[in-house]
Amino acid sequence: MDTTGLDHLVLTVEDIDATCDFYEDVLDAEVVTFGEGRTALQFGDQKVNLHPAGDEYDPRADRPTPGSGDFCLLTETPIETVETELREAGVDVVEGPVPKTGAVGSLASVYLRDPDGNLVEVAEYQE
């Protein structure tokens, strides 16, 4: 098997509209509809599919739970600018900017929570 990357992941959420509004307004996601009316958040070549809590699509995780996600989004915007924009949008920054290690190098990261309480890291690769 020659696994090459991550195509998408799934978040189980309480309110798809509120989730879409947050990710679109705060994190510049593109909200897309696919399949038979399903919803996803597009970030470049990857997406986050959204499952409504209590009405998840099959197959699904064994114990899908809103707020159990923890993932990292990459940005090319300077992380200090990201932090400023988040605070100006009224988003609580949980931590950061802080140095972290990504899949292929050093990151500068800020952490926030989405409407379901998922931990979202926004990170800029450092040269």
DSSP 54: T
97 has pLDDT over 90 = yes
Of 6, 20, 26, which Cα lies nearest the Cα of 122?
26
Task: Return the pLDDT at 69.
Answer: 96
Q: Can 76 be counted among the known catalytic residues?
A: no
Q: What does the block give as tokens for 22?
A: 């947050």
Strands (E), 1-127: 8-13, 30-34, 38-43, 46-52, 70-74, 93-101, 106-113, 119-125
CB 43 within 8 A of CB 62: no
Render pLDDT for 35-55 as a digit per residue (tens, 0 to 9): 999 999 999 999 999 999 999
- pTM: predicted TM-score of the whole model, two decimal places: 0.94
Task: Return the pLDDT at 51.
Answer: 97
| CATH class of domain segment(s) 8-125 | alpha beta
Task: Return the pLDDT at 76.
Answer: 96
Burial of 110 (0-12, 13-18, 19+ CB in 10 A): buried
> What whole-number percentage of the chain has pLDDT above 90?
96
What ranges do the domains of the chain cover?
8-125
Q: Catalytic: which of 36, 76, 85, 121?
A: 121
Task: Return the pLDDT at 28.
Answer: 95
Q: What is the mean pLDDT of residues 22-37?
A: 96
